[in-house]
């Protein structure tokens, strides 16, 4: 049985990756400090003999006693509301965290795949964004703590690959959605659905003309799995190139939920990208991968998940555990 360490295991993406690798017959070691992750995302795995959980902060030394074949580094705050509240922790998980993971991989002779992001492209001047585009990022803006953490993470990963010969893979993840997203994590999709379920008007920032491209989590997991198994060491975009404006997306959510709320507009946050759409030509040719789940189908699945939440969860104002874990 091959073994894999997945950091950020109790988070949205991490928990789905744990599911996939348990299903594939791996011994999965999940690791999370539970700042933004939730045990409810992996409760169903806790009794599986092929799964174990370590409550640990990856910015501190990582000790794994068994052999490891793979490491997936998915630990990180992942939305503006998170990394604006804990900017230093965001930078640390993208620097100290990846350093610890790469050091562990070197000792264990394991292959590492890191979760990078479309945010490395910043507010892009090239559209759609190919892997060859170097980006337009403001390193000292409010989003810089996340953008630069991910850019540093890519650089550190390539340094370990070229200098130490560590086997590495880099996935650049575009907007992904699905069950287990935190309802109030600040991103458009859960924000809109949460507002609709609570009977609130939907809030669009700016004039709503900015675009996003939404990829269902099952498609994303498949892309990550294929990239991990490939022999390609440069970054690869994984996302859905079906682009939609935020205003149009809000109207889709209103139609989906059957609610009568209106859309209200507020000021656009600083450095918010105006366009976001992946060029997935490389993923298609290299991995034979492209998204299969339509936005209509994926949104129905996601909506059913959010509808199943308790009223307490639905009306909870903050789903983060920053204070509980004394984050600095």
Question: Which tens digit of pLDDT belongs to each residue from 129-161?
Answer: 999 999 999 999 888 999 999 999 999 999 999
pLDDT exceeds 60 at position 314: yes
Catalytic residue among 146, 177, 225, 303: 146
pLDDT of residue 322: 53
pLDDT of residue 187: 87
Tell me the C-alpha distance between 194 and 182, whole Å: 10
The 10s digit of each residue's pLDDT in 36-48 is 999 999 999 999 9
The 10s digit of each residue's pLDDT in 276-306 is 899 999 999 999 999 999 999 999 999 999 9
Tell me the C-alpha distance between 57 and 92, whole Å: 10
| Complete domains list, the chain, with CATH | 3-180+214-241+275-293 (3.40.50.720)
The 10s digit of each residue's pLDDT in 154-211 is 999 999 999 999 999 999 999 999 999 998 888 889 999 999 999 999 999 889 999 9
pTM: 0.94
pLDDT exceeds 50 at position 325: no
Active site residue 146: yes
């Amino acid at each position: 049985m091959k073994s894999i360490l997945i950091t950020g295991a109790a988070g949205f993406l991490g928990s789905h990756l744990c599911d996939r690798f348990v299903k594939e017959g791996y011994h999965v070691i999940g690791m999370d400090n539970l700042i933004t992750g939730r045990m409810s995302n992996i409760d169903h795995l806790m009794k599986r003999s092929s799964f174990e959980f370590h409550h640990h902060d990856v910015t501190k030394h990582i000790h794994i006693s068994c052999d490891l074949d793979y490491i997936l580094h998915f630990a990180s705050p992942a939305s503006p509301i998170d990394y604006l509240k804990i900017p230093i922790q965001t930078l640390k998980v993208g620097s100290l965290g990846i350093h610890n993971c790469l050091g562990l991989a070197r000792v264990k002779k394991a292959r590492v795949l890191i979760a990078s992001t479309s945010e490395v492209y910043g507010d892009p001047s090239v559209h759609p964004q190919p892997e060859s585009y170097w980006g337009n990022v403001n390193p000292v803006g409010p989003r810089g703590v996340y953008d630069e953490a991910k850019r540093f993470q890519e650089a550190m990963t390539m340094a370990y690959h070229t200098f130490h010969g560590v086997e590495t893979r880099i996935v650049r993840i575009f907007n992904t959605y699905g069950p287990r997203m935190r309802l109030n994590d600040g991103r458009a999709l859960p924000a809109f659905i949460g507002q609709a379920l609570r009977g609130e008007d939907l809030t669009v920032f700016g004039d709503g003309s900015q675009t996003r491209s939404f990829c269902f989590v099952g498609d994303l997991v498949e892309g990550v799995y294929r990239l991990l198994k490939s022999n390609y060491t440069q970054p690869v975009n994984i996302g859905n190139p079906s682009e939609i404006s935020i205003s149009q997306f809000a109207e889709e959510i209103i139609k989906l939920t059957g609610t009568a709320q209106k859309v209200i507009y507020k000021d656009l946050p600083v450095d918010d990208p105006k366009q976001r759409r992946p060029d997935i030509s490389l993923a298609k040719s290299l991995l034979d991968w492209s998204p299969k789940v339509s936005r209509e189908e994926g949104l129905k699945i996601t909506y059913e998940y959010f509808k199943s939440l308790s009223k307490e969860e639905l009306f909870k104002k903050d789903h983060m555990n920053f204070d509980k874990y004394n984050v600095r």
